[in-house]
Structure 1
């Protein structure tokens, strides 16, 4: 990279960001060749600018479809127990849940240790993809302790709020959870489900829920598009 190139791609980044902020570009950006001709640069330099905007959550790339302007992020408060369908709809967006897999499973050594179960303990495994405004935003892997949750759950409509379904249909309600999150690189399965290229940046969120103070009954692992979510929490300062 020459000494002048970083300034060049940053100027392109700034102009594209301004065009997007002032709504001078369509939701789907022009092709890379057209943009490179506009800025009189190579496609390598253009991609550096686009990747910078992608890192900032301003644009996103779909595999084999091109670049798009990122819609507003969904605001999520992890300290509340409101389900995905409810908090997305409350923000005026259109949520959708798609169940990809449901099956009986057994806890391997790693899961048994994570959930405090005996190795080989019966589990219910659910895999779902969640959408906002017809864009896939997260892939969710759920493991439930079958001794706590009825196997009849797998016969229910899972394209809805699992939290509400457990409460209303089975009178089950976790009492607390441990929540962890960190940036990640999306594997091939997660990236394909979210219409991204393998290795794309993502946000990993894991929730381990307890039926009481000790017993872990649900392990929920979520892989989010990094530009789809904004973590918001209200903190009360001490007196």
Structure 2
């Protein structure tokens, strides 16, 4: 990119970031055509600026709807066991859970390896979409050992699954193992989040254990990257006092 064009896209980025910070730009941004005319630039240069703002989490794009100012991120501490509904509501936001699909089926080869099951062992497979303030922010795929919580699919799953398991079955995992990394969404993952295929996302994977090493739940979460901020609190060890 020529130096003058590079400086131009950075000026556009800086101006839009300033207007977002000052509250001049809220909710939906003008169309790319309108912004390109305003800044007297090509659509390519404008998109460089918008993509930079997207990387910074200041704006987000919805497929076929345009660009929007990102709301404040939800703070998430993965070392705590508080459920989505509680920690979102606890930060003054409005959470909602929507069940997209639920079925009972054999685990199959891939899930069997992740959960320590036989391929023919049955699991409950649940696909859910999680919302914050009327915006879809996370797609969740949950597999549960069907022998651990029989009758689960007869219940309303549009709520906290942890609370439901505790209330209806008296069940709760004893511990979990969590992993996370950046990823790109395929079409099936992107469309429920109103994103284009290939959009970046934060992937969280959780194995929940009960009765020793028995894995009873395997959870995959695909988060919009501008919706979540991972915050972990840690304590430093006490300083060692030197002896004379």
Task: Please give the alpha-carbon distance, in whole angstroms, between the structure 2 residues aligned to 1:213 and 1:75.
Answer: 30
Moved over 6 A (4+): none
Structure with greater Cα Rg: 2
Mapped contact 1:178–1:207 kept (Cα < 8 A): yes
Task: Please give the alpha-carbon distance, in whole angstroms, between the structure 1 residues aligned to 2:6 and 2:204.
Answer: 34
Q: Secondary structure at the match of 1:79?
A: coil
Matching residue of 1:149: 149
Task: Please give the alpha-carbon distance, in whole angstroms, between the structure 1 residues aligned to 2:6 and 2:147.
Answer: 58
Task: Please give the alpha-carbon distance, in whole angstroms, between the structure 2 residues aligned to 1:117 and 1:157.
Answer: 26
- 1:1-239 mapped onto 2 (5 Å cutoff): 1-150=1-150, 152-239=151-238
What do residues 196-226 of structure 1 show as CA deviations (whole Å, max 9, x unaligned)? 0000000100000001331111000000000
The alpha carbon displacement at 1:6 in A equals 1.6
Task: Please give the alpha-carbon distance, in whole angstroms, between the structure 2 residues aligned to 1:110 and 1:143.
Answer: 12
Mapped contact 1:176–1:212 kept (Cα < 8 A): no
What do residues 31-56 of structure 1 show as CA deviations (whole Å, max 9, x unaligned)? 11111111111111000100010011
Task: Please give the alpha-carbon distance, in whole angstroms, between the structure 2 residues aligned to 1:163 and 1:7.
Answer: 51
The alpha carbon displacement at 1:4 in A equals 2.0
Which range moved further: 91-100 or 35-44?
A: 35-44
The alpha carbon displacement at 1:109 in A equals 1.3
Task: Please give the alpha-carbon distance, in whole angstroms, between the structure 2 residues aligned to 1:237 and 1:2.
Answer: 48
Gaps of 5+ in 2: 239-244
Task: Please give the alpha-carbon distance, in whole angstroms, between the structure 1 residues aligned to 2:198 and 2:7.
Answer: 27
* TM-score normalised per structure 1: 0.98
Mapped contact 1:99–1:128 kept (Cα < 8 A): yes
Aligned residue pairs: how many?
238
